[in-house]
Amino acid sequence: MKQLTDAFVLHNGVKLPCVGFGTWQTPDGETAVRAVKAAIEAGYRHIDGAAVYGNEKSVGEGIRSGMESAGVRREELFVTSKVWTTHRGYEKTLEAFEKSLHDFGLDYFDLYLIHWPANAGNCENWDEMNLESWRALTELYRAGKVRAIGVSNFLPHHLKSLMETGVKPMVDQIEFHPGYMQAETVAYCKENGIQVEAWSPMGSGAMFQNETVKQIAEKYGKTVAHVCVRWCLQHGVAPLPKSVTPSRIKDNTNVFDFVLSAEDMAVIDAMPLTGYSGNNPDTFNVF
């Protein structure tokens, strides 16, 4: 990966730009519009959103504004949304998709994900529920309304039944950062051709206070954010850094002029549990 437009290739041949721009916790309104516009102007071509973020209309406005100011065509962008836990199941998932598409003001999504799996803690027939949501995504994919489909926060046992359907998940977006690697899930995804994306690649800000990562950043003359993004890329994972500050949005892209050594990668990999959100896909129960 040498630039923002370089891409991971999903198992259906669709190209996913290697670094995405996250919009989680980005305030709705002008803040979101300006942030997304700045991201596109800075060279990002991968915008990650979700219904539950509550800012999809503003993110969509930011996309249109950024496309105009940067002279970017829609087909050059890769836009993601996700169905929330309140809309699990076949019919509700279809409804959620159409609402998000309308709120974004788009004709199609490049990627649509199930945001969290139904699990034994919140749904007696959790596996069947996940399959029903997946049936809706598969239908949308085959109808050409979305170029790729996948999941978010799914562990291997949540993925197993989906892998046996006619269309395998193409992406699993998980919490992945120094101090929380989810090695088992990443290994399962790689073995099965599922591209991993990393939400919260800086550990919700915890990495900025972590001495191990800070020392490695100083060694390379880079920032902590640079190290976290670069570390994800060298693991073959697509990071989704987030900021609302134009200068930081731009600076977070400066990750293609250095390579972390095998030794430094190993040091980061060996970090103890750090920055974990506490959100467990087997118990997550927000409706």
**Closest C-alpha to 72, from 101, 105, 39, 100:** 39
- How far out from the chain centre does Cα 228 lie? 15
- Can you give the pTM of this predicted structure? 0.97
Q: What pLDDT sits at residue 29?
A: 97
Q: Which residue among 53, 112, 180, 188 is the active-site one?
A: 53
SS3 258: coil
DSSP code at position 10: P
Among the residues of 192-261, which ranges form H helices?
211-220, 224-234, 246-251
pLDDT, tens digit only, all 287 positions of the chain = 999 999 999 999 999 999 999 999 999 999 999 999 999 999 999 999 999 999 999 999 999 999 999 999 999 999 999 999 999 999 999 999 999 999 999 999 999 999 999 998 888 899 999 999 999 999 999 999 999 999 999 999 999 999 999 999 999 999 999 999 999 999 999 999 999 999 999 999 999 999 999 999 999 999 999 999 999 999 999 999 999 999 999 999 999 999 999 999 999 999 999 999 999 999 998 76
SS3 112: strand
141 catalytically annotated? no
Q: What pLDDT sits at residue 287?
A: 63
* β-pair type (7-9, 15-17): antiparallel
Contact partners, residue 79, CB within 8 Å, separation at least 6: 47, 49, 63, 104, 106, 109, 110, 111
Residue that the structure tokens 């959790």 belong to:
126
Q: What b/e readout covers 9-26, taking b as 16+ CB neighbours within 10 angstroms?
A: ebeeebbbbbbbbbbeeb
C-alpha distances in Å from residue 269, one per residue of 173, 207, 208, 273: 19, 13, 17, 10
Beta bridge partners of 78: 46
